[in-house]
Amino acid sequence: MYDVTPDQVWVWQKLESIITDLLSQYGYQEIRFPVLEKTDLFHSAIGEVTDVVEKEMFTFETRKGDSISMRPEGTASTVRMVLQNGLIFNDPQKLWYSGPMFRYEKPQKGRNRQFSQVGVEVFGFPGPDVDAELLLMTHKMWQQLGLKNVRLELNTLGTAECRATYREVLIKYFEQHLELLDEEAKKRLHSNPLRILDSKNPAMATVIESAPLIKDYLSTESQQHFKGLCDILDACGLTYQVNPKLVRGLDYYTHNVFEWITDDLGAQGTICAGGRYDRLVEMQGGKATPATGFAMGLDRLVELILEHKLWEPKPQAQVYFIRDKSIADDQVIKLTESIRAAVPGLQMMLHMGQASFKSQFKKADKSGAQFAIIIGEEEFAQQVFAVKALQDRAFGQQQMSYQELLTFLQSQLNINSASNCNT
Ligand code: ATP
Ligand code: MG
């Protein structure tokens, strides 16, 4: 778990605002659910034989002895929430959430014990059209964030029936190679054999490499669903690689599964993962409802943006207000409040307390502001202001009346907001 200091928090804010703006442009609605849930929810929704439930949850007892856990992901809570609130009763839903998740993992680059996800969950649409929309929308996100080198890997797990057949084939195959499996794989052999394909143990690479593939066990319906998705992506020019080994270990996944991966982050390169989970709502006691979604890891996106300097740092303020010691606090504050009222939206930082001009200029430079407004004793008496450009040498320093100053600040704001629209 970690702190986000002010020099990095602007990346989080901008990232969240780009993502949430895009989600609302596609008509998705935000939901919020608690950080704590009953432990049973995660056991039943995520599955007993998964890394998350077996070894990653922060679980504890309440004073009355109930077992509760800090949410390790958002899909389980979303399904609980839509069922408890009757949201998907004859009504499709396109939903998203954002916030911290908790997993007791070995902390390392790209893997934290508290991390943030934005997740999208869609209920009520069985076809590949919505899966395609999710992929096109995430692709647009990478474009808007300025990410390069992100690739999409795609696979299908077919319907529940195809999966069941494939499961048996896999168990038989691994049973013939028991001596090559590690302890974890042996434990999973009968409960969650697909998860073995996900193993990161290099000693098992060969036996996994030669394992049978789901694509050879797909029904016509499953093949058509996947082809439907690929056709839309092809028509829209979105490139992807079909990775026949890509599985999501959770029992409820059906049809397409996908991961967006970058090679710019080292080993933890998956920035977004998801797929269709048509069986989960029913498994949680609801009416059978098709569902699909994904979760993206914001920590890894922030790391990518900072490490590769993809964005210009945001200044603390646009304007830094420098004042002579002799001008009383009440006078200065009255003046700056009137400027703020006359130029809504202006980001202006007023120097607090008494300090030499030299030290105030140092702070102004450090703030990253474009301009300093300087007011000395005499200027205050005559209500004239010196405006000094801190970045643009050609501008130099100019004298302005109060009215000229307001017009100038207004025009700067317009220039800034116009250039923001272009990026
Ligand atoms: P992995 O196999 O790498 O452990 P996962 O299958 O556990 O991944 P998901 O549950 O699919 O991951 O979570 C979706 C996304 O959330 C991941 O692709 C990743 O970007 C992010 N994520 C998951 N766990 C962490 C973590 N501990 N720290 C930072 N980001 C994480
Ligand atoms: Mg994990």
Ligand nearest the Cα atom of residue 295: 1
- Across the range 103-129, mean pLDDT stands at 96
Residue pair 358/374 in contact (Cβ under 8 Å)? The answer is no
For residue 377 the two structure tokens come to 């004793």
Is the Cβ atom of 407 under 6 angstroms away from ligand 1? no
Ligand nearest the Cα atom of residue 268: 1
Task: Return the number of other C-beta atoms located less than 10 Å from residue 379's C-beta.
Answer: 15
Residue pair 270/297 in contact (Cβ under 8 Å)? The answer is yes
Choose the residue to mutate in 115, 246, 292 for probing ligand 1, maximizing ligand atoms within 8 Å of C-beta: 115
Of 64-78, 167-181, 194-208, 381-395, the range with the highest mean pLDDT is 64-78
Q: Model confidence at 423, in pLDDT bands (50, 70, 90)?
A: very low
Q: Which residues contact 28 (CB under 8 A, 6 or more apart)?
A: 94, 95, 96, 120
pLDDT per residue over 257-292, tens digit each?
A: 999 999 999 888 999 999 999 999 999 999 999 999
Residue keyed to tokens 């943006």: 305
Residue pair 194/167 in contact (Cβ under 8 Å)? The answer is yes
Question: For residues 98 and 30, what is the distance between their CA atoms, to the nearest angstrom?
Answer: 8
pLDDT per residue over 149-187, tens digit each?
A: 999 999 999 998 898 899 999 999 999 999 999 998 998
Given its phi and psi angles, is residue 218 left (phi above 0), alpha (psi -120 to 50 degrees) or beta? beta
- Kind and range of the H or E run holding 307: helix 298-307
Residue pair 105/56 in contact (Cβ under 8 Å)? The answer is yes
Q: Provide the whole-model pTM.
A: 0.91
Q: Is the dihedral of CA 322, 326, 328, 329 positive or negative?
A: positive
Ligand 1 nearest-atom number relative to CA 52? 7
Ligand 1 nearest-atom number relative to CA 249? 6
Considering only CA atoms, which residue is closest to atom 12 of ligand 1?
273
Is the Cβ atom of 112 under 6 angstroms away from ligand 1? yes
The CA angle 200-164-74, to the nearest 5 degrees, is 60
Closest alpha carbon to 203 in 187, 224, 219, 179: 179
Ligand 1 nearest-atom number relative to CA 51? 7
Residue pair 69/59 in contact (Cβ under 8 Å)? The answer is yes
For residue 178 the two structure tokens come to 């028991």
- Strand 291-297 vs strand 114-123: parallel, antiparallel, or unpaired? antiparallel
Using alpha carbons, list the distances in angstroms from residue 162 to 157, 169, 211, 224, 405: 8, 11, 16, 13, 71
Question: For residues 189 and 171, what is the distance between their CA atoms, to the nearest angstrom?
Answer: 6
Ligand 1 nearest-atom number relative to CA 272? 18
Question: For residues 39 and 9, what is the distance between their CA atoms, to the nearest angstrom?
Answer: 32
Q: Model confidence at 245, in pLDDT bands (50, 70, 90)?
A: confident
- Kind and range of the H or E run holding 404: helix 402-422
Ligand 2 mean position to 100 CA, how many Å? 15
How many Cα atoms sit within 13 Å of 314 on the Cβ side?
15
- Kind and range of the H or E run holding 119: strand 114-123
pLDDT per residue over 289-331, tens digit each?
A: 999 999 999 999 999 999 999 999 888 999 999 999 999 999 9
Considering only CA atoms, which residue is closest to atom 7 of ligand 1?
52
Closest alpha carbon to 408 in 419, 422, 397, 394: 397
Closest alpha carbon to 101 in 159, 58, 134, 144: 58
pLDDT per residue over 387-414, tens digit each?
A: 999 988 888 899 999 999 999 999 988 7
For residue 183 the two structure tokens come to 């302890």
Is the Cβ atom of 299 under 6 angstroms away from ligand 1? yes
Question: For residues 273 and 292, what is the distance between their CA atoms, to the nearest angstrom?
Answer: 11
Using alpha carbons, list the distances in angstroms from residue 208 to 204, 243, 245, 283, 310: 6, 14, 9, 29, 37
DSSP state letter for 314: P
